[in-house]
């Protein structure tokens, strides 16, 4: 299992949102490239980057920083935020990143994103689904910065994209994201049980190093962590120890 550090960019700064709320922003005094280089020295190889400005406006406001991260961090980079058309998708891929992360439009415009998958191939795209557990216990995908329900279960979307050759998926339990309340291991265990050939990245709620082993046992390919690393709840020394023992 990979540990995937997350860098969220807002106005060129490293930030974290609480449950995706732009009114609840924590800012961190880190240069994004220097931070990524520290992660690389700790043995981490894949970086998750979100252009929050792009997510709000659809414009690649942090593209220059993302390009710097791809060129100067020593890490492979997957990046997303506001991917709503082919032009934005191709611009990000041309910036030097490994994979582009596609979120809301994968739920609202499946025919379009399936075409992108066919054009780019399964190793260039991560489909990201933000879910909330509904009253019937099923994960429903939300869109537009978690403000709109889609009426679609996560399982329906995974069926659709796996049938078309997708391989990489990022799943965020929005009730946990940015809260340090613990990851939803039951959700990720069920994802892997239903779709053993898919490579899942778990996101939301990681609070301590103790959870890394627990998450590893679910079978996910990676765990994304942002706030825990930035707040020191998960130290790079603990990360290195986990990687050495994995």
User: Would you please indicate which residues are annotated as catalytic (active-site) residues?
Assistant: 8, 130
Q: Residue 131: name the closest of 162, 174, 186 by CA.
A: 174
In which residue are the tokens 């406006």 written?
57
- Give Cα 230 to chain centroid, integer Å: 16
| Contact assessment for residue 74 and residue 43, using Cβ atoms and an 8 Å cutoff | no
| Contact assessment for residue 171 and residue 200, using Cβ atoms and an 8 Å cutoff | yes
| Contact assessment for residue 178 and residue 172, using Cβ atoms and an 8 Å cutoff | no
Count of C-beta atoms within a 10 Å radius of residue 156: 15
């Amino acid at each position: 299992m990979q540990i995937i550090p997350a860098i969220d960019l807002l106005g060129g700064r490293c930030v974290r949102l609480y449950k995706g709320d732009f009114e609840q922003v924590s800012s961190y005094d880190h240069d994004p490239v220097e931070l990524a280089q520290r992660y690389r020295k700790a043995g981490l190889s894949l970086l998750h980057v979100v252009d929050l400005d792009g997510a709000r406006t659809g414009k690649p406001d942090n593209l220059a920083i993302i390009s710097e991260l791809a060129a100067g961090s020593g890490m492979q980079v997957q990046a997303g935020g506001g991917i709503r058309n082919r032009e934005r998708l191709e611009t990000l891929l041309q910036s030097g990143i490994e994979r582009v992360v596609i979120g809301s439009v994968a739920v609202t415009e499946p025919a379009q994103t399936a075409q992108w998958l066919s054009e780019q191939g399964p190793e260039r795209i991560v489909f990201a689904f933000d879910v909330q557990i509904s009253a019937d216990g099923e994960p429903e995908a939300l869109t537009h910065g978690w403000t709109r329900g889609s009426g679609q279960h996560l399982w329906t979307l995974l069926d659709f994209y796996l049938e078309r050759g997708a391989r990489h998926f990022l799943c965020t339990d929005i009730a946990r994201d940015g809260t340090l309340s613990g990851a939803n291991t039951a959700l990720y265990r069920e994802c892997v049980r239903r779709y053993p050939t898919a490579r899942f990245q778990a996101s939301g709620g990681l609070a301590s190093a103790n959870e890394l082993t627990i998450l590893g046992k679910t079978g996910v390919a990676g765990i994304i962590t942002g706030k825990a690393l930035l707040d020191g709840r998960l130290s790079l020394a603990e990360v290195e120890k986990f990687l050495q023992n994995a």
